[in-house]
């Protein structure tokens, strides 16, 4: 596995690919996101970029922006938001202190990763709409899995409530040789920092490429595309989109 060590560079290159596809037809519907178009996805990205930039500039807990789509300006708005974000990221390296919505994540690294992950997912959405899908880059796929489990779930941003969930779930990214364990207990969710105790029984397990696992967690593909055994309802509890 090749982990991403420079999210700003990754973001710059991936956003350029997003823009290239979007300029072809920004009103095209997105099969992976029913009811949304390329323009909707671009507006969402712009809002994320603006929120990250404002937060890093010291406007802590700045609200997300209005996602009203103006087709005539959505691409120019995206370019402006991207350029602003890249400038802010350069001024705020990953180790810089920053407010985030994720418990225990208090550095700019959170925003570097967040903006890169959502951009990579959007590129996948737009590529699928144009019939040219490719897997997520392995490094960003692992980052997307990490983010779903270490930020979204602890912050209560999962797609489904966890109050009724009980048990242990394992995810295994075969190509990256990475394993994650998630435990649901009494309405709480925790990502284990290591292996569970010997003899601990799994209630669900899913294995596949890092890309397929990330796309499943973020709602682009069903978990059925991965090798899944056990209680699939628990897997639905770790989806974040």
Is residue 69's pLDDT more than 60? yes
pLDDT confidence of residue 26: 83
Give domain status of residue 180, yes or no.
yes
Shared domain for 17 and 115, answered yes or no, is yes
- Asked whether the beta carbons of 2 and 104 are under 8 A apart, the reply is no
- What pLDDT band is residue 160 in, cutting at 50, 70 and 90? low
Is residue 213's pLDDT more than 80? yes
Shared domain for 117 and 164, answered yes or no, is no
The total number of residues shown for the chain amounts to 241
- Proportion of the chain above pLDDT 90, given as a percent: 68
Give domain status of residue 203, yes or no.
yes
Shared domain for 127 and 189, answered yes or no, is no
Q: How many domains does the chain have?
A: 2
Q: Average pLDDT of 33-58?
A: 93
pLDDT confidence of residue 228: 93
pLDDT confidence of residue 70: 65
Give domain status of residue 2, yes or no.
no
Give me the half-sphere count of Cα atoms (radius 13 Å) on the Cβ side of residue 163.
1
Task: Compute the distance between CA of residue 209 and CA of residue 207 in angstroms, rounded to an integer.
Answer: 7
Shared domain for 116 and 194, answered yes or no, is no
Residue written as tokens 């699939």? 232
pLDDT per residue as tens digits for the range 120-147: 999 999 999 988 888 999 999 999 999 9
DSSP letter (8 states) at residue 107: B
Shared domain for 123 and 178, answered yes or no, is no
State pTM to two decimals.
0.93
Provide the β-strand partners of residue 181: 170
pLDDT confidence of residue 36: 94
Which residues constitute the domain of residue 73?
A: 7-134
Shared domain for 84 and 197, answered yes or no, is no
pLDDT confidence of residue 66: 56
Give domain status of residue 69, yes or no.
yes
pLDDT per residue as tens digits for the range 101-124: 998 899 999 999 999 999 999 999
Provide the β-strand partners of residue 170: 181, 205
Give domain status of residue 65, yes or no.
yes
Indicate left, alpha or beta for 222 from its phi (over 0: left) and psi (-120 to 50: alpha): beta
pLDDT confidence of residue 46: 94
pLDDT confidence of residue 102: 92
Shared domain for 17 and 126, answered yes or no, is yes
- What pLDDT band is residue 67 in, cutting at 50, 70 and 90? low
Shared domain for 99 and 177, answered yes or no, is no
Is residue 63's pLDDT more than 70? no
pLDDT confidence of residue 188: 80
Give domain status of residue 154, yes or no.
no
Shared domain for 112 and 57, answered yes or no, is yes
pLDDT confidence of residue 16: 97
- Asked whether the beta carbons of 240 and 161 are under 8 A apart, the reply is no
pLDDT confidence of residue 61: 58
């Amino acid at each position: 596995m090749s982990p991403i060590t420079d999210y700003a560079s990754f973001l710059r290159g991936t956003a350029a690919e997003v823009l290239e596809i979007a300029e072809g037809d920004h009103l095209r519907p997105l099969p992976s996101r029913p009811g949304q178009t390329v323009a909707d996805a671009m507006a969402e990205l712009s809002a994320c970029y603006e929120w990250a930039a404002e937060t890093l500039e010291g406007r802590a807990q700045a609200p997300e922006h209005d996602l009203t789509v103006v087709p005539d300006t959505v691409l120019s708005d995206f370019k402006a938001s991207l350029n602003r974000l890249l400038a802010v990221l350069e001024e705020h390296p990953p180790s810089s202190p920053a407010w985030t919505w994720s418990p225990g994540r208090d550095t700019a690294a959170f925003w570097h990763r967040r903006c890169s992950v959502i951009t990579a997912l959007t590129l996948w959405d737009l590529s699928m709409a144009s019939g040219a899908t490719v897997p997520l880059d392995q490094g960003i796929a692992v980052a997307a899995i990490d983010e779903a489990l270490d930020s979204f779930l602890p912050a209560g941003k999962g797609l489904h409530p966890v109050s009724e969930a009980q048990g242990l779930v394992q995810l295994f990214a075969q190509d990256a040789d990475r394993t994650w364990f998630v435990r649901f207990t009494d309405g709480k969710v925790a990502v284990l920092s290591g292996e569970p105790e010997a003899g601990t029984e799994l209630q669900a397990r899913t294995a596949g490429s890092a890309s397929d696992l990330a796309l499943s967690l973020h709602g682009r593909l069903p978990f059925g595309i991965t090798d899944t055994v056990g209680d699939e309802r628990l897997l639905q509890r770790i989806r974040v989109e």
